[in-house]
Amino acid sequence: MVSSIVKMKEVSESLRKQNLTIGFVPTMGCLHEGHLKLIKRSLESCDQTVVSIFVNPTQFGPNEDLDSYPRQLESDIERLEATGVDILFHPSKEEMYPAGYKTYVQVQNISEHLCGKSRAGFFKGVTTVVLKLFNIVGPHNAFFGEKDWQQLAVIEALVEDLNLDVAIIRVPLVRESDGLAMSSRNRYLSSQERKTALSLSHSLQEAQNNIRRGTTSAKAISNSIRQYFLGKEGCEIDYISICDPESFKEKEQIRGRTLIALAVKVGPSRLIDNCIIEEF
Ligand code: PAF
């Protein structure tokens, strides 16, 4: 495990000198099958795989779950070793944000919709830490999951606009066998809340069926999703967005490639899920 930035840079420089490709999977730990899928993609396609575990304080709002965010370093290390990961980068908060820290990067426009609207400062924190991690780890390829569809688009914009020398590899969303999108925050759920949480994937499935049957009105689809949560205890819809998957502009009619994205608070957890309606 590497905790110091200087050491991580030295390791990365030495790998690059040996012409080895570096794959990178940034995480906040509490690893699940979704993370392992990203890691496996890196292991398959790169010579060396670096995974970072860092619960990034700058992407949490003042009333969010930074303190209670699940942390389980020991079992994460065991999982990484068993999977064959080459290097774990696990810096402290002070290492990443020493006293007097003052620089942030922000992707405009697409960061302002969906999660950016309800979590002020979230994407600014994500892009700042991801840029820092890219500078420290120096990866050739970095792997991100499509569950965080908007985060992926924001990071792609960061890389393109700032001419970063890293390829962003998209990896499809991973679900539990009953359809629940994998997330570290699923651990907060009681068994009753977990049942309720299934409404996210079920309502998206129903939306896709309705669209296949010919519904094109975004409002009708959005209402049908909303209905799904009515009467379900402990549920609060943050947003239902039916939008362009690149610009995140809301659509009135479902024509062309469309993203349906949801954020719903279930008990203590804010959960997100999405699906893409391909052009038809
Ligand atoms: O998706 C996450 O786990 C985080 O937002 C990331 C990309 C590791 C940045 O802290």
Chain position carrying tokens 């079992």 = 75
The per-residue pLDDT for 231 is: 87
Containing 102, the helix (H) or strand (E) segment is none
**Neighbouring C-beta atoms of residue 65, cutoff 10 Å:** 14
Domain holding 144: CATH number?
A: 3.40.50.620
- pLDDT averages per 10-residue partition of the chain, 280 residues: 98 98 98 98 98 98 93 97 98 98 98 96 98 99 98 98 98 97 95 96 98 97 96 94 98 97 96 92
- Give CA–CA dist 186/205, Å, rounded: 20
Model pLDDT, residue 279: 75
**Phi, psi at residue 175, to the nearest 5°?**
-115, 155
Q: Is 154 in the same domain as 31?
A: yes
- Measured between alpha carbons, how far is 201 from 263 in angstroms, rounded to an integer? 11
pLDDT of 280 reads 66
Does the beta carbon of 130 lie inside 6 Å of ligand 1?
Answer: yes
Report which protein residue has its CA nearest ligand 1's atom 8: 27
Place of tokens 């549920």: 235
Q: Residue 29 has what pLDDT?
A: 98
Q: Which of 122, 137, 171 is the last residue of a domain?
A: 171
CA of 47 to the centre of ligand 1 (A): 23
229, 102 Cβ separation under 8 angstroms = no
Inside any domain, residue 100: yes
Asked whether residue 278 is assigned to any structural domain, the reply reads: no
- Model pLDDT, residue 18: 98
Provide the residue range defining the domain that includes 255: 184-272
Q: Is 51 helix (H, G, I), strand (E, B) or coil?
A: strand
Indicate if 106 and 127 belong to the same structural domain. yes
Query: Is 35 known to be catalytic?
Result: yes
Residue 177 is assigned to a structural domain of this protein: no
User: Residue 163 CB: number of other CB atoms within 10 A?
Assistant: 6
Task: Give the count of beta carbons closer than 10 Å to the beta carbon of residue 57.
Answer: 14
